[in-house]
Structure 1
Amino acid sequence: MSVSRTERLLNLLIALLNTRYGLRRSELREKVYHDQSGNDVAFGRMFERDKNDLRQFGFDVETLTDMGWSEDDPATTRYRIGKESNRLPDVQLGPEEWTVLLLASQLWERAALGTSAQSALRKLKASGRMADVGLPAGVQPRIKPAGQAFDDLVAAMHSRHPVTFTYLAGTTGKEELRAVEPWGLGSRFGQWYLMGHDRVRNATRHFRLSRITSAVTTLDKELFTPPADFNVRQELARLPELPLRTAIVDVREGRLLALRRRSSDAGNAAGRPATGYERLALQFRDPESLAEELASYGPDARAVSPSELVKAVRRRLRAAADFSAAPVPSYRFGEARARSVRKRTSEDQLKRMLQLVPFLVHNQGLHIQDVADQFGVSRKELEDDLQILICSGLPEGYPDDLLDIQWDDDHVYITQDLDLTKPVRFTVEEACALLTGLETLNGLPEVAEGGALESVTLKLLAAAGEEGLRAASLAGPEVAPADAATHAAVRQAIESRSQLRLAYLSPQRDAVSERDVDPLRLYSLDNTWYFEAYCHLVRGLRNFRLDRVQELHPNGVPISADITPAEGAPAKLFTANDDDTTVTVQLTRQGRGLADDYYAERTAELPDGGLVADIRFSNTAWLPMFVAQHGGAARILAPEELAEAARTWLAASLAMYGD
């Protein structure tokens, strides 16, 4: 959609919204399209395309026909859009409800649903001024979707297109091509699952996203209809938990303290370990999850049994080694990278402008940069939008018939809105992002108490209408902390601004250290909780996993007044420092989400859908673990000494299995 087409559609929308009796095609052709070509066929095709585009945005273009009185008085067709067509109903929220809604909108760590949640929140701000509220003291739960496959499946699910992918079958251990009608996505037992109709087996099946071994291909030319009453949360609740099993693992003496905490001595089970190793027994349920962990330990650990676990570890190590040995692709970095889900389009621009006008109506006088930040665009992009808007209006084109927006003093005011005072209704993605987020917050006692969560959910369901009902196709993970006592202690320290003394296990350094920290905020990725703190041992901001805290208690010292959290919300899991090493990594299409996870500074697109990314790491010694853990989805390109260290480490790991 070109800029001129964007302007034309906006003007057509305004004209059809602001006519009581409708406009004839000839009037629209002259006053909106300014078409003097005389080519009726070409104009007719253009007009039909534009009407379809407006319908895609949710506006119902009404066709009115006046029957003539005689053969000499032919029928007349007029067009209009009702004032309330596709408008979001007013949603009045109190301060506590806004607080809960802010938490829900920030749940999605990244991916398309994160963008949709922020878009939905802007629409609610545009339907009425938001109360002056903030997030609960230091608490920021988040959901981390399962890579690029998650984004692709959500898009296909909402557009109702089937998909194909290769899948590692749990029963056979073989990769198989699957064709699936995606009905729903949800999290269960710490894993993301796709539920849908398997066309190959002609039956309803569930697929774990971590077992998808290829890119997801969408069959754009095909459509499907999901069951009317489908609820993915109810379906996943029927899945039985995998049985508890025992794995035998050889671990290098004196290493892997985190693994040893969960293990017991296996004695001489399945034979004797090699010299320098100890044989341990581990309880596990999912061989793939344990294989990912054991692969990351490389030559420090060797899976002995069961055989499917051994095969899974070898498969990951072999895939990582093969990818690391592949030829380096040709690539070229662009400008420094801003985190985004996808390239912006002209359709995005028109959607944004339809949100922008009502937002400005209800938020008069905001600084232009604040408005740009609210919409996630640059100041120049916003000014381009405003330039189009002030040239748009009713067909006559007189000054009073145009949108009137001023920003000469860097504060934006709108005095003529032409009935664009209400934002359009939620899209399916927006409704799913907010409503799924609200349902996920039920696991946090400090949020679920008080009734605000229930009341805001009911209000949004009513406002979302049919799109809200489709939120049943998405279910987030449980976000309640596993160690409620540690979580409560850290939160209390944040609220009282008290320093903590803690003993902390660092898997990268394979050691327990004691340190004094100033806790600043709590946040989670799914049900794994972290807290950001100023660490006096290293004299800088660090992130600590709650399940790695060995001991924790207040030390009686208050937090210094000049210590504040890192900028931005949500909190970053990885914070780059000036002395960090810049590492160039190649990521496959399945692994490209790691560029966002590690806040890549710049990226280069590859023809196969993968990425080359520059990422800053403070500790490069663990990079071989990073490569092995992702089993062929990531490799090191530069510096060469780090790439060679990873290849050597992978070779030593495979040698443990006779490769």
Structure 2
Amino acid sequence: MPASRTERLLNLLIALLNTKYGLRRSELRETVYRDVYGNEASFGRMFERDKTDLRKFGFEVETLTDLGWSEDDPATTRYRIGKESNRLPDVQLGPEEWTVLLLASQLWERAALGSAAQSALRKLQASGGMADVQLPAGVQPRIKPAGQAFDDLVAAIHAKHPVIFTYLAGSTGIEEQRSVEPWGLGSRFGHWYLVGHDRVRRETRHFRLSRFTSAVSIQEREQFRPPRDFNVRQELERLPELPLSTAVVDVRAGRLLALRRRAIAQDEAGRNSAPVSGLQGPETGSDRLILQYRDPEVLAEELASYGPDALAVAPPELVDAVRRRLRAAADFSAAPVPEYKFADAPARPVRPRTSEDQLKRMLQLVPFLVHNQGLHIQDVADRFGISRKELENDLQILICSGLPEGYPDDLLDIQWDDDHVYITQDLDLTKPVRFTVEEACALLTGLETLNSLPDVAEGGALESVTLKLLAAAGEEGLRAASVAGPEVAPADAATHALVRQAIESRAQLHLTYFSPQRDSVSVRDVDPLRLYSLDNTWYLEAYCHSVEGLRNFRLDRVQEIHANGRPAAVRATPAQGVPAKLFTARDDDTTVTVQLTRQGRGLADDYYAERTAELDDGGLVADIRFGNTAWLPMFVAQHGGSVRILEPAEHAEAARAWLAASLARYGG
């Protein structure tokens, strides 16, 4: 959709919104379509396509006819859009409700629903104004979606398109192509599951996203109708947890302290346990560990990352899973390097922007400016997640748009000469468009997820803002129930409470911390700054006095923690941005160029890629900064064929050697 079409649709919308009795096709052709060439038949087809596009945005175009005449007669048929058509109702929120809503919107961070959540917030700001609130220390939870497959499935669920993907069945270990009508997506037992109708097996099935072995292909030419009474949360609650199984793993002496801490005694596993009995002893220089696990794929991902330092011995399904990941990583690392070119601009969100995005943004921009007069133009661009140049392009189109007559008073009047944006003529675009189903899903699913946090769930703000948003979202709010978020409550509530209290009282903490990348334990004194999470894994952002810089510590890797009696330093401040980044950039970081498959392209967002280049197969090449390059081979092995290193060459070669040594332990 070129920019001229964007402008035409905007002018058509304004014209149909600002007519009481409706406009005939001839009037629209002479005004809105005056620069469009072609005969009457081609104009008619264009007009019908434009009406369809407006309906996609939620604006229902009414058809009016003079009494006694037929709709087939263009001379007597008129068109209009009701003033309140698809307008978001006013939603008035108090400071406590805004606090809860901000927490819910930030749960999704850099996933597709994160963009939808920010878009919904802008609509609410334009609808009722936003109170000046500050997020509480220690309560910044986030949801970590399952890569690109998550975004693709959410889009397919809401558009009601079937999907095709390759899946590794947990019960049989067989990899098969599946054709599924996706009904819902949710988190259970720490994993994301798709629930839908398997077209081949003709029954409802659950598919764990970590077992997808291909990208998700959306069948956009087909649609399905989900069951009316489907509830993804109820469906996932019936899903039984996998039973505990026993694994045998040989670990090189003195290595993998974290894995050793989880090992159990053989008598605890059972002396007659099949995976343990009847096996040859470990090779010289290795220790045998007995581990318990529920899912072989989860343990295989961890063991693959350890490379030659760990060898899965039993059961066979675990051995095969580790070998398959290492082989996929080695094959990808040895493949020819594709041609690619980085864009001149910094890395942008993975999904390319379209003119439909631009029109949606404009429909938010006008009411936002009406209710936020005089903002600096860069502040407005930052609010909408675009560059200043993109915003100015939007404003240039807007000031040329208006009523069909085209007089000065009939055009949108926006000024930004002094870099502060003012709007004095809004042409009845003062209210934002209703929530899309993605926007409703992002906020309502986020609010429901916060129910697991006692500090947030207590009091009535969470319940009241949920009810208000359900009322405002209407039908889209009901459809939003197709996604269910994970539990975000911390596993160790006592440690979480201790750290939060230290943040509020600005007290220094003394902690003993295990680092898996360095495979070592260290003792630190830190000034705690804030807590945040990925699902129910919580992190502490703190100023570390040992390294004299900001660091992030996983709470479940803190072996001991207590206040040391000293106050936190005044100079320590959190890193910029909310929510906090999991990785803090440093001057001595190494920029690494990696290639990501379509399946693994979400890693570019997870690791804050500085620039990206699109590939023809749907993958990406990305520049990512790493502080500890010794960890890179583990990073490649862990993701089993979804990522490889291109530059620097020595790090690419180190990863290939690591993978070769790892496969050698499994027979090559």
Normalization by structure 1: what TM-score?
0.97
Cα distance in 2 for partners of 1:610, 1:36 equals 38
Cα distance in 2 for partners of 1:318, 1:527 equals 31
- Pairs within 5 Å for 1:179-194: 179-194=179-194
Aligned twin of 1:598: 607
For the residue of structure 2 that corresponds to 1:139, the secondary structure is: coil
* Contact 1:157–1:183, Cα closer than 8 Å, also in 2: yes
The worse-fitting range, judged by mean Cα deviation, of 175-184 and 18-27 is 18-27
Cα distance in 1 for partners of 2:614, 2:413 equals 41
CA-CA distance at 1:265 after TM superposition: 3.8
* Contact 1:481–1:529, Cα closer than 8 Å, also in 2: yes
Cα distance in 2 for partners of 1:434, 1:182 equals 21
For the residue of structure 2 that corresponds to 1:566, the secondary structure is: coil
Aligned twin of 2:506: 497
Distance 1:164 1:69, change over 3 A: closer
Cα distance in 1 for partners of 2:202, 2:224 equals 14
Aligned twin of 2:293: 284
CA-CA distance at 1:456 after TM superposition: 0.4
* Match status 1:474 vs 2:474: no
* Match status 1:408 vs 2:420: no
The CA deviation string for residues 298-326 of structure 1, in whole angstroms up to 9 with x for no partner, is 11111111111111111111111111122
* Match status 1:524 vs 2:533: yes
CA-CA distance at 1:499 after TM superposition: 0.9
Aligned twin of 1:297: 306
State percent identity of aligned pairs: 84
- Pairs within 5 Å for 1:15-30: 15-30=15-30
CA-CA distance at 1:582 after TM superposition: 1.5
Cα distance in 2 for partners of 1:37, 1:148 equals 42
Aligned twin of 2:370: 361
Aligned twin of 2:270: none
Aligned twin of 2:112: 112
The amino acid across from 2:582 in the alignment is L
Aligned twin of 2:166: 166
The CA deviation string for residues 200-251 of structure 1, in whole angstroms up to 9 with x for no partner, is 1111101011111011111111111111111111100000001112111111
Cα distance in 1 for partners of 2:408, 2:522 equals 70
* Contact 2:347–2:612, Cα closer than 8 Å, also in 1: no
Aligned twin of 1:222: 222
CA-CA distance at 1:66 after TM superposition: 0.4
Cα distance in 2 for partners of 1:299, 1:447 equals 45
Distance 1:266 1:638, change over 3 A: farther
Cα distance in 1 for partners of 2:383, 2:652 equals 40
* Match status 1:32 vs 2:41: no
* Contact 1:110–1:145, Cα closer than 8 Å, also in 2: no
CA-CA distance at 1:39 after TM superposition: 2.4
The amino acid across from 1:91 in the alignment is V
Aligned twin of 2:6: 6
Where in structure 1 are there 5+ consecutive unaligned residues? none
* Contact 2:340–2:615, Cα closer than 8 Å, also in 1: yes
Distance 1:441 1:36, change over 3 A: closer
Aligned twin of 2:45: 45
The worse-fitting range, judged by mean Cα deviation, of 579-588 and 425-434 is 579-588
User: How many residues are paired up?
Assistant: 657
CA-CA distance at 1:35 after TM superposition: 5.5
Distance 1:97 1:188, change over 3 A: same
CA-CA distance at 1:338 after TM superposition: 2.7
Aligned twin of 2:245: 245
Cα distance in 1 for partners of 2:394, 2:615 equals 31
CA-CA distance at 1:138 after TM superposition: 4.0
The amino acid across from 1:21 in the alignment is Y
The amino acid across from 2:132 in the alignment is D
* Contact 2:24–2:74, Cα closer than 8 Å, also in 1: no
Aligned twin of 1:319: 328
Aligned twin of 1:259: 259
Cα distance in 1 for partners of 2:511, 2:74 equals 86
CA-CA distance at 1:571 after TM superposition: 0.9
CA-CA distance at 1:337 after TM superposition: 3.1
CA-CA distance at 1:111 after TM superposition: 2.0
CA-CA distance at 1:425 after TM superposition: 0.5
- Pairs within 5 Å for 1:627-638: 627-638=636-647
The CA deviation string for residues 103-128 of structure 1, in whole angstroms up to 9 with x for no partner, is 11111022211111111111101101
**Aligned with residue 567 of structure 1, among 576, 581, 591:** 576
* Contact 2:305–2:637, Cα closer than 8 Å, also in 1: yes
CA-CA distance at 1:29 after TM superposition: 1.5
The CA deviation string for residues 387-414 of structure 1, in whole angstroms up to 9 with x for no partner, is 1111111111122211111212221111
The CA deviation string for residues 280-308 of structure 1, in whole angstroms up to 9 with x for no partner, is 11111111101111111111111111111
CA-CA distance at 1:37 after TM superposition: 5.7
Aligned twin of 1:514: 523
Aligned twin of 2:142: 142
For the residue of structure 2 that corresponds to 1:127, the secondary structure is: helix
CA-CA distance at 1:36 after TM superposition: 8.5
The amino acid across from 1:373 in the alignment is D
Aligned twin of 1:542: 551
Distance 1:35 1:290, change over 3 A: closer
Cα distance in 1 for partners of 2:337, 2:34 equals 54
**Aligned with residue 458 of structure 1, among 455, 463, 467:** 467
Cα distance in 2 for partners of 1:83, 1:77 equals 19
CA-CA distance at 1:498 after TM superposition: 1.1
CA-CA distance at 1:381 after TM superposition: 1.0
The amino acid across from 1:309 in the alignment is L
Where in structure 2 are there 5+ consecutive unaligned residues? 268-275
Cα distance in 2 for partners of 1:358, 1:157 equals 30
The CA deviation string for residues 181-207 of structure 1, in whole angstroms up to 9 with x for no partner, is 010111101111000000111111010
For the residue of structure 1 that corresponds to 2:306, the secondary structure is: helix
* Contact 1:67–1:74, Cα closer than 8 Å, also in 2: no
Normalization by structure 2: what TM-score?
0.96
